[in-house]
Amino acid sequence: MKTPGIIHRRRMRLGAIAAAAVTALTAGLIGAVGAQAAQGCEVDYKVTGQWSGGFNANVQVTNLGEPVNTWDLEWTWADGQRVTRMWNAENKSESASAKASSLGYNAALATGGSTSFGFTGSWSGANTDPTEFRLNGRLCDGSVGEPTTPPTGPVTAMEQVAAMQPGWNVGNTLDALGGETGWGNPLITEELLQTVKAEGYNSLRLPVTWDENLGPAPGYTIDPAWLDRVAQVTDMALANDLQVLLNIHHDSWMWMSAMPTDHDGVLSKYEAIWTQIAERFKDYPSELSFESINEPQFTDTEPAAGDALVHELNVAFHEIVRGSGGNNEGRLLVMPTLVTSADQPQLDALKATIDSLEDPMIAATVHMYGPWPFSVNIAGGTTYSEQVEQDITSTFERVHDTFVADDIPVIIGEWGVLGYDWTRPIVPSQQYGELLKFFEGMTFQARDKQMTLMLWDAGSYLNRDTLEWRDPLVQSYMDSGVTTRSGTASFDSIYLEKAGTIADESLTLNRNGLEFEGLWQGDTALAEGDDYTVEGDTLTLTAAALTRLAGDRAYGTNATIEARFSDGLSWRIHIITYDTPQLSDVSGAVNAFAIPTEFNGDQIATMEAKYADGTYAGPHDWTSFKEFWATYRPDYTAGSIGLTADFFNAVREGESVTLTFHFWGGGTVDYTVTKTGTTVTGTSA
């Protein structure tokens, strides 16, 4: 967990201090909860770090009364603090009334038993400690008194999936071809999993590709060393309070896609794998769940036929696991749609499968990377527009109405944006503020529609060599979004032309249900009236304030200010000085062509490519707007714009192509390229 600017450390103990050390006890997710006898408790509340507007805290609760099998801890703050994110407990807080509820693994507390959880909170003015806590409704004052009866009954699939929020994929590792490190990631270690847990993740999706570790037909025996390694990682995750979702991963396209033409062979192999997995893990606790197959897909098959094959695989998976005995009889099973699509026909097909099985411990899974044009920056999809937001909202609504509304939980098994790739010098493909809006919107929709998100991370978010998050602000938006909203604005930058006269500039606030509380530069509040005005949702910075913030007006970012809201994260606004970029003539090879460019403080939003007759040039000739990185690659440090060989391979010989570069400062620049054999000639307009 990040603790920026720790200012002080304090602790508060409520109730008698136990003479001996106490041990946190855990229990499985599934089990009856009975009425309790005499109750009592004490709480150790400790602020572990505090900074402007936020703080971290750890809470240890000790049960002094009769054993409890589930618990709720409630408290209030006198100064209006709020919980923004919580780990090792489910956050059920409302405003200044805080409530933490047990998860499956820490629900049971014996007499003298204790457990701990942590949270990040927001504050303003003061950060006074709470004066009292209540465990299952009873005051924690160190005494033992009248009983309180907590909710009774077994944990449901909905409750288990809710306790998995948020989740994290250890991608491109056990699912990699060529071994665990075959795709460039290091071995999974306990330190890695502890880092993930400390960030607040509650579950680990463990993608595993099995094909390279199988013996021949008909047994398809899994290499014992490979199965041991999968079990070892599962054990480490469970030991660190991470639920685990184990699956069959890239096998879906490696051999399972041939099911339409090799039905019996594929089904036999699939059943052999799941029979062995089920046997190996049948006595594991219920915190381990199984996912039948990742992104099932079939060669040359129409969607309806594909739906039928997915149904057959899911049913076979269900029969094998349930029939294997042990804890598999009631284990949570997760089933995908065809290619984990959220299109309504595929949702309906999976819903019919789940209904037919009449099994309450089944969850559905789909994947969401946002609408493709935005996710990779193609076809002009450069901003988190109303259309992008509506696409995401509609997707969540469809999935909710199909499953969640009928008490079938949903796991978004993979989510993120496809253009967020740490192997590129420029990350992300999207404009940075627009990316943050995407994360804010996705986490809100998941919370609003009661779904669990599992971030797909193949190394782009968490640096597995240093165990540091590559972009703390991006991670903060995902962290914060689990419990609250953050305000944004129509854009995260104000561009000031270097040669122009500075005038008032306006942005539109996206309050997201919050109150706007002002603008700040560091610890200094800007003055409403003199520096900015707010009319409705229109925020206007005055010419005087912009002149001061721009300073000597050097190219690039001159200052960054924050728009603060009543909850969530502040919205950063960058004051940028620029002039129209200048592109120079050049000749070069098709596979190494780069346009010399003076960016003059500006950056590229997108690139269009057209022939003289107006038709579209380059790959994806259904749109004039080309895909970022796949076709054009700005290098702001070197001062160039590279065009890829893939772009020129899709360009007609000897015909001039007009490239129109769109920049975030609002301007466009045209440039002409002509391919002749393996050589390209580029000319500025």
Percent helix, strand, coil in the chain (nearest 5)?
25, 30, 45
Rounded distance, CA 459 to CA 465, Å? 9
Q: Which helix (H) or strand (E) holds 533?
A: strand 532-535
Q: Which of 676, 663, 657, 673 is nearest to 614 (CA)?
A: 657
CA 676 to chain centre: 45
Residue with tokens 């618990």: 71
Looking at residue 154, what DSSP letter applies? P
Region for 126 from its dihedrals, namely left if φ exceeds 0, alpha if ψ lies in -120 to 50, beta otherwise: beta
**CA-to-CA dists, residue 432 to 2, 435, 438, 596, 636, angstroms:** 21, 5, 10, 24, 15
Torsion of CA 92, 95, 97, 102, to 10 degrees: 20
b/e burial code for range 453-476 (CB count within 10 A of at least 16 → b): bbbbbbbbbbebeeeebbbeebbb
Rounded distance, CA 655 to CA 678, Å? 14
The residue type of 519 is L
The residue type of 409 is P
Q: What are phi and psi of 401, to 5 degrees?
A: -65, -30
b/e burial code for range 401-414 (CB count within 10 A of at least 16 → b): ebbbeeebbbbbbb
Q: Say how many CA atoms lie within 13 Å of 137 toward its Cβ.
A: 11
Q: Which tokens hold the place of 525?
A: 């509040």
Rounded distance, CA 668 to CA 433, Å? 21
* Catalytic sites, residue numbers: 295, 414
Beta-ladder partners of 593:
643
Residues 6+ apart with CB under 8 A from 331: 286, 288, 289, 290, 321, 361
Looking at residue 262, what DSSP letter applies? S
Cβ 242 vs Cβ 235: under 8 Å: no
